[in-house]
Amino acid sequence: MLEEVDEIRVKANANLDVNKKGELGQFFTSSSICIFMASLFNELKGDISLLDPGCGPGSLTAAFTEEVIRRGSARSLELHAIDIERKIKPFLDVVLDKCVSASNAAGIKCKIYPQINDYITAASVTKHDFGTEMYTHCIINPPYKKITSASDYRKILSAIGIEAVNLYAGFVALAIMQLKKQGEMVAIIPRSFCNGPYYLPFRNFIFQHCAIKHVHIFDSRSHAFSEDDVLQENIIIHLVKNGIQESVKITSSPNSDFFFDQESNSVSASDMTVRNIPFESLVNMLDKDKFIHIAANNRDQSIIDRLNVFYTSLNELGISVSTGPVVDFRLKSDLRENIEPGAVPLIYPVHLNGVVDWPKKSKKPNAINVSERSRSWLWSNQGYFVIVRRFSSKEEKRRIVATVYDGSLPGEWIGFENKLNVFHINKSGMDKDIAYGLSAFLNSMLLDKYYRLFGGHTQINATDLRSLHYPDRKSLQRIGSYISSQGLSQENINEAINTEIKRLSKNDDKNPLAAQEKLDQALEIITLLGMPKSQQNERSALTFLALVNLRPEGSWQELEKPLVGVTPIMDWCRDIYGKEYAPNTRETFRRQTLHQFIDGGLVLYNPDKPNRAVNSPKACYQIAPELFDVLNTYGTPLWNKALGEWLMQRETLVEQYAMKREMHMIPLTIDNGTEIHLSPGDHSQLIHDIVTEFGPRFAPGSQVIYLGDTGAKEDFFRKDALADLGVTVNRKGKLPDVVLYWPQRDWLILIESVTSHGPVDGKRHSELANLFKDARPGLVYVSAFPDKKTMSKFFSEISWETEVWIAEAPTHMIHLNGDRFLGPHN
């Protein structure tokens, strides 16, 4: 159903006016995000009443309905879907009809209540007022739109105790009020509410009424709504009204490619990380600001913890930060290209380059005339100011870039243009050491990492800077004094901040920036070694570091080359670099990093035993010896030469490694004459025997539809042929090891190759029956074994109504059907 619904979403999206979409804050939710959001609900049983305010074409409602059906514990389902856009009604009606049909087919009584109305204003005039607790569940992607203090929305919400500066906060708070006790909400909302004074009432509202159960963050900005080019960073949050606040589950993923993983019976995503934290690590309820600090991994948490030694506000320091007061287009007649009598310097972002570079030849003026109009926007040119650009580019290494201005330019007054943020004391400068200490803190890599955890956007507002906690005055003076004498290099800045943290902290934790530095170095090396863009990511960098056992405090001249498997690599990432990946991402490590490392000549596969089976628990990887020698030179004068020589011989090395692997592959020619090579090992040998021995004897003329050998899975899958037979599977569908189609009998033969685990037992029989439930041909289930000894280990587990074949006695079969021999059992 969801694939059809997603097509409807795309059509509905195209049908809307682009300008109106932005005006109303309409950004529809893709099917993958819908699937994940629906999976987060805890209780989906009995009589369910769902609220979906700002529903769009109903994608979230459809995903919720499908999840309710999948869990199979609901008696009835009411779907309340509300949206303001009249053009959406035909699309919403189609989707809701599909929900009713699917629910009724599953034996769940379903009623629908679509509304085309303004959710906030409509609720205020209906008999169901704001205080009525009507719904058991709410799934919501609310509109994003700022609301002014004079707007009708603000007045309506304020009247019922909701203080919101954005529609999304109003929608969420109102929906919480309309939930029953223990009712659940899953919402996708901008991350901006997590910090800043404007959203404090909204945060307090959530803490007062709900328990936070789960938060999911996206590592990549703008990915969740990439089709709509939404720049605001989003999170997905699961709340329980009046719930008991316990630990919080934090997950993250670099993008929104969610899928249902049948093996773990859960929804996952590529490179998904997972951790459970105490609520106190998420929110410090003793802090007056009550910021929500979402750390996706232990390394991020250590950054938050490390900066907690600084707790002073700008107000306590007696320092202000303001947006530059000069709005140039309003003072156009006073702008001057260069300084002249009666004019004073005017600072623009273009004048900042680590220092104030003024005057500068550019399209921007360098000065402003002191006139009756301009005077009130100019400040006293005395003391030291700290200037931060309001807009940073995504390419810059740091989001916050601060520059000290020492008051040395000519004139009694100074102008700061509106695209700057300026730290000052009553519109004058401050003490030199305080200014340099403040600048160093703002320019530190530790603060940059911290800011990205809860900020994300490239626009740095004065409000954001006021929200930060700073070193106290004595700390700023110590930092500033060090920087004034040693210089403003990034290394000196980081050293000064680190020294001050050690001075103030009882906690002797290792600096998390060391881990980040090693990751950055590994990424640089992976890129230089020629790895494609898809491998230039943190997962690959961590894998690379694990393969040489390089810890954050270690040296590239002290590398090791252990033999290590996929699960130990993931454990190492968690234990050494604090990033815990979900268990069901093992295949991502193997298929999207290690395979490419092998193909690129970086890594050897099973060098201790090349003929080891791919699915062996002892399968392992090792850094290639030639590359190991090159890596030992990283950071030394020998590096560039060693790297160049390795790159020159890389193709030869890759061919040599490939030839060694090929020697141990098992050749197989299938029914259409295609020759493929299976991975080495008993499991693959049995797959070979199934195709060459079982097929011709018991299903002569059958076609190979799918081979599940680990080495060939991506290479041989007649997906279209299977679809023609009525079966469509997603990329994570848990197919059997071999699928044959026998046209003569119109049978699909589903075969598991059993060498160490995995016969067709009762559970597997149900899984396969469900996976192939739409198949047109009859289904035959077979467990294949290499010999009787192996079969004897599993015989008690094998399901009735299946077949058994043994490769060492290829002319015979064992039928566990009772009433018939080989054939489908209906």
Residue 556 forms part of a structural domain: yes
**Which pLDDT tens digit goes with each residue over 565-584?**
999 999 999 999 989 998 88
Domain boundary (454, 476, 504) is at 504
The kind and range of the H/E element at 646 are: helix 639-648
616 CB neighbour count, 10 Å cutoff: 18
**Which pLDDT tens digit goes with each residue over 558-568?**
999 999 999 99
pLDDT band at 536 (very low <50, low <70, confident <90, very high): confident
Q: What global pTM score does this model have?
A: 0.70
Cα atoms in the Cβ-side hemisphere of radius 13 Å centred on 361? 0
**What is residue 663's predicted lDDT score, i.e. its pLDDT?**
56
Find, among 518, 521, 525, the residue nearest to 640 by Cα: 525
Separation CA 589–CA 576 (nearest Å): 17
Top pLDDT among 671 and 350 is at 350
**What is residue 662's predicted lDDT score, i.e. its pLDDT?**
56
Find, among 596, 588, 589, the residue nearest to 527 by Cα: 596
State whether 80 and 221 are in the same domain.
yes
The 273-277 sheet, strands edge to edge: 109-116, 73-83, 45-53, 135-140, 179-190, 234-241, 210-218, 248-253, 273-277
**What is residue 455's predicted lDDT score, i.e. its pLDDT?**
60
End-to-end CA distance of the chain: 26
State whether 76 and 113 are in the same domain.
yes
- Only one residue has tokens 């000052």, namely 424
Q: Is 223 exposed, middle or buried (0-12, 13-18, 19+ CB in 10 A)?
A: middle
Residue 267 forms part of a structural domain: no
Q: What's the average model confidence in pLDDT over 694-716?
A: 77
- Only one residue has tokens 């199934």, namely 690
State whether 122 and 43 are in the same domain.
yes
The kind and range of the H/E element at 279 are: helix 279-282
CATH number at residue 465: 3.90.220
Q: Per the structure block, which two tokens stand in for 420? A: 């700057």
Asked if residue 483 lies in contact with residue 493, where contact means CB atoms within 8 angstroms, the answer is yes
State whether 655 and 700 are in the same domain.
no
**What is residue 231's predicted lDDT score, i.e. its pLDDT?**
36
CATH number at residue 773: 3.40.1350.80
Domain boundary (504, 523, 551) is at 504
State whether 530 and 614 are in the same domain.
yes
Chain-centre distance of CA 405, in angstroms?
Answer: 39
**What is residue 1's predicted lDDT score, i.e. its pLDDT?**
72
- What's the domain range around 14? 2-246
382 CB neighbour count, 10 Å cutoff: 15
**Which pLDDT tens digit goes with each residue over 93-150?**
999 999 999 999 999 999 999 999 999 887 665 434 545 678 999 999 999 888 988 8
Question: For 649-743, where are the alpha helices, taking DSSP H only?
Answer: 650-662, 682-689, 695-698, 719-724
Partners of 384 in the beta sheet? 430
State whether 613 and 731 are in the same domain.
no
**What is residue 825's predicted lDDT score, i.e. its pLDDT?**
66
Hey, which of 299-303, 390-394, 492-496 has the most confident mean pLDDT?
Answer: 492-496
Asked if residue 351 lies in contact with residue 400, where contact means CB atoms within 8 angstroms, the answer is no
Asked if residue 387 lies in contact with residue 355, where contact means CB atoms within 8 angstroms, the answer is no
**Which pLDDT tens digit goes with each residue over 269-301?**
888 999 999 999 999 888 888 889 888 888 888
- Only one residue has tokens 């514990």, namely 73
Residue 381 has pLDDT above 90, yes or no: yes
Q: What's the average model confidence in pLDDT over 633-654?
A: 87
State whether 613 and 500 are in the same domain.
no
**What is residue 202's predicted lDDT score, i.e. its pLDDT?**
95
Domain boundary (616, 636, 660) is at 660
Positive/negative CA dihedral, 223, 224, 229, 230: negative
Q: What's the average model confidence in pLDDT over 7-28?
A: 62
Partners of 416 in the beta sheet? 347
Hey, which of 12-21, 207-216, 807-816 has the most confident mean pLDDT?
Answer: 207-216
Tally the residues of the chain: 826
State whether 544 and 679 are in the same domain.
no
What backbone phi and psi angles, to 5 degrees, belong to 499? -65, -40
- Only one residue has tokens 């539809």, namely 705
Residue 25 has pLDDT above 60, yes or no: no
* Structural domains of the chain, count: 4
Separation CA 574–CA 585 (nearest Å): 13
State whether 699 and 649 are in the same domain.
no
**Angstrom distances, CA of residue 224 to CA of 138, 229, 755:** 20, 9, 42
The DSSP-derived string for 419-453 is: TEEEEEBTTB-B-HHHHHHHHHHHH-HHHHHHHHH
Separation CA 627–CA 646 (nearest Å): 7
- Only one residue has tokens 């030839």, namely 659
Residue 447 has pLDDT above 90, yes or no: yes
What backbone phi and psi angles, to 5 degrees, belong to 253? -150, 150
Residue 395 forms part of a structural domain: yes
State whether 653 and 736 are in the same domain.
no
State whether 672 and 733 are in the same domain.
yes
State whether 435 and 327 are in the same domain.
yes
**What is residue 614's predicted lDDT score, i.e. its pLDDT?**
64
The beta-strand segments (E) located in 461-550 are: none
